[in-house]
Amino acid sequence: MYDCFGAGQKVAQVIFGGQDWRRAPGTAAQMFTVFRVVRQLHELLWYLSEALTLQPARPLHAELSRALDQTDRLTRTGASALMELDVAAHRRNTRTLLARASELVRAAARRPGADLVGADLIGKDLRGADLHGANVTGAYLIGADLTGADLTLADLTGADLRGAELTGADLTTSFFVTQSQLDAANGDYRTKTPPSLTTPAHWPPHSAAPG
């Protein structure tokens, strides 16, 4: 599932003043380039906003707030400035700060969690796995079976959950989980999701009636 984090609306309605590239094809190349930059900035805004809700990361809240304000200002600098922005450098700096926030949150786990950053877990049988406090950033969990897994205080930044089975898994306090990640996965009424997210419509809402 793809999530533009609201960048499309910002680009079309704010930066380009409501222009439609279909009606003004001469703006298309510039608009698409700006969209790619703004989409990355809006993604960072989402993560920074999420980090500010994490109590264990309070020692970093001032830095996170400054980074949030700076990133928000960048989204409003205009098309020309955005096209010249070194967005990769800004992402690196912001990701470093978010990683520090993640460390503080995961330190609250009952014990050090697994380091699964970028791990290839495609199709793996992880039923009932103890991933309490794990760092699952960027892990490939495509089609993995996480039925009943404990993902308490797990960092799921950018984890690929396409087709992953989350039936009965506990993600209540998992953090940096996006709606698009949940939408790409499978779950059911037993799956515990972060309270800020919506249970995907394709997940069975309740147990089957007794036969």
Which residues neighbour 51 within 8 Å (Cβ) at sequence distance 6 or greater?
57, 60, 64, 98, 101, 176
pLDDT in tens, 30-41: 778 888 888 899
Kindly tell me the burial class for residue 104, based on how many C-beta atoms sit within 10 Å of its own C-beta (0-12, 13-18, 19 or more): middle
Classified by CATH at the fold level, domain 111-211 comes out as: Pectate Lyase C-like (2.160.20)
pLDDT string in tens for the chain (211-residue length): 556 766 667 666 666 665 665 555 555 677 788 888 888 999 999 999 999 999 999 999 999 999 999 999 998 888 888 888 999 999 999 999 999 999 999 998 877 889 999 999 999 999 999 999 999 999 999 999 999 999 999 999 999 999 999 999 999 999 999 999 999 999 999 999 999 999 999 998 876 544 4
Domain chopping of the chain, boundaries: 7-106, 111-211
pLDDT at 112: 80
Measure the CA–CA gap between 146 and 193, rounded to whole angstroms: 13
* Closest alpha carbon to 128 in 190, 182, 180: 190
Separation in Å, CA 203 to CA 12, 129, 141, 200, 208: 33, 21, 18, 6, 13
Taking the C-alpha atoms of residue 192 and residue 43, their distance in angstroms, rounded to an integer, is 24
pTM: 0.85
- What does the pLDDT read at residue 13? 65
Instruction: Give the pLDDT of residue 36.
Output: 87
Element (H, E) at 28: helix 28-51
State the amino acid at position 123 in one-letter form. G
CB 85 within 8 A of CB 104: no
pLDDT at residue 111, rounded to an integer: 79
Q: Which amino acid is at 12?
A: A
> Considering only CA atoms, which of 61, 47, 89 is closest in space to residue 196?
47
- The β-bridge partners of 175 are 155
- pLDDT score of 83: 85
At residue 209, the pLDDT reads 43
Nearest CA-CA partner of 112 in 149, 148, 153: 153
Q: Which residues contact 21 (CB under 8 A, 6 or more apart)?
A: 27, 28, 31, 32
42 Cβ neighbours under 8 A, 6+ residues apart: 4, 5, 6, 7, 10, 75
Read off the tokens for 139: 């892990």
Tens of pLDDT, residues 48-57 = 999 999 999 9
